[in-house]
Amino acid sequence: MVEVQPGQTSYSYHWHEKNEEVFFILSGQAIVTTQDKEIHLSQADAITFPAGPKGAHCIRNASDSEPLVYLDFGADHSLEIAHFPQSKQMLILAPYTQAMVSQPNK
């Protein structure tokens, strides 16, 4: 369960190499930014994000006064890399390890 304060985001715009992700809104108002558009969500709405660049997303609390509360669930591969294209960083997640690193130049 994730709680996001008014006007804040939970994570910046990113995508996952292996893990699909699902958000289910428990309360509040959300704006989800995807590759193509912004989507407004409210209580009992759900949205899915496939693994890969086409599943890039960011969720923001659209309210000025109330928290956004949502469930965040999906696949859970033991080794995962999340890409943050705007900051050119990667979050590496593995058992007993979590590290934010700069993306290598290609």
Domains of the chain, start order: 2-76 (2.60.120.10)
Q: Are 50 and 60 in contact (CB under 8 A)?
A: no
Residue 29 pLDDT > 90: yes
Q: What percentage of the chain carries pLDDT values higher than 90?
A: 85
Residue 53 pLDDT > 80: yes
Please compute the mean of the pLDDT values over residues 11-15 and round it to a whole number.
95
Q: What is the pLDDT of residue 106?
A: 63
The better pLDDT of the pair 25, 97 is held by 25
CB atoms within 10 A of CB 70: 25
Q: pLDDT band for 97, please (50, 70, 90 cuts).
A: confident
Residue 89 tokens, joined: 């960083």
Q: What is the pTM assigned to this prediction?
A: 0.86
How far apart CA 68 and CA 63 sit, in angstroms, is: 8
